[in-house]
Copies of this chain bind each other. A is one copy, B any other.
Amino acid sequence: MRPLRREQDAAASQRVLDALRRDIILGALTPGTRVTEAALAAKYGVSRVPVREALRALEAEGFVESRPYAGSTIAEIPLDDAADLFAVRGVIESTIARRAAGRAAEQFAADAPNDRWFSARRALTDILDDGDRAVASDALRELPELNIRFHLGVAELSGSTSLTALLRQISGKIEWLYAVDVDNRGKQSWGEHRSIIAAIDAGNGTDAERLMAGHVDSSRRGYLERFAGSGTTPPPGSARRSAGRDAGERG
């Protein structure tokens, strides 16, 4: 028996976390922005305690930087990191795809598919449909979020919590890099998702891994193509990198 499912209300702190992360990744909160606990608490209609918990989690994920008694600011992604992030993401995602395919094969072999797996798989179907609709109607603005949900959905399917946690960080950062440039991508990239899922459903780990690697790589190339020309690519982060003294002379 599924004992609960009241997450609707049961997660004030979680709600703030998700909303904040979403705002950061999608660009509503730009890097360098200072956020005060009180303001966030007012915005989300909660006290400062759940806000602080959310900020600590985001700090661990690398989306926020905090200094004692000096507050929290949205982190910046140094430009140099971009290419490296794509490289790491490629490994994580293709590994996830392979694992997902293996797990799918298990599920179909078993008599009764795992409940959790099944709902994750169904959620992916919805995400794919929503994305296709968005592409068809040129609502490209919805794609970044759907994209994140797709990739996290595959991670869910893989059953590896360790890899999922890693992906959540890195995938978020990658999307973040794109946040300033939503319209540029999407259409062609989104189409590749169906074939990845097909390989996973077929239990074909080799294909799934290869397709996902290619998918990430084309994403990487798209990014570099877009920004490579200008020596000083301006993704959300590069606005202002403090040159030297950043850490601590006050007093």
Residues of A at the B interface (CB closer than 8 Å) are 3-5, 7, 10-11, 13-14, 17, 49, 52-54, 56-62, 67-69, 75, 77-78, 80-81, 84-85, 87-88, 91-92, 95, 99, 114-116, 159-163, 165-166, 169-170, 173, 244, 247-248
Contact = CB atoms under 8 A, between A and B. Distances in A.
A11 B244 CA distance: 24
Contact of A56 (B53, B114, B170): B53
Contacts of A91: 87-88, 91
Given A53-B53, A60-B61, A163 B81 contact: yes
Nearest to A67: B3
A10 B69 contact: yes
Contacts of A49: 49, 52
Contact of A84 (B52, B56, B99, B165): B99
A95 B90 CA distance: 13
Contact of A62 (B54, B56, B59, B165): B165
Would you list the 4 A-B pairs with minimal beta carbon distance, nearest first? A62-B165, A60-B60, A57-B60, A10-B68
B85 A162 contact: yes
A14 B69 CA distance: 13
A173 B169 contact: no
A14 B67 CA distance: 11
B60 A244 contact: no
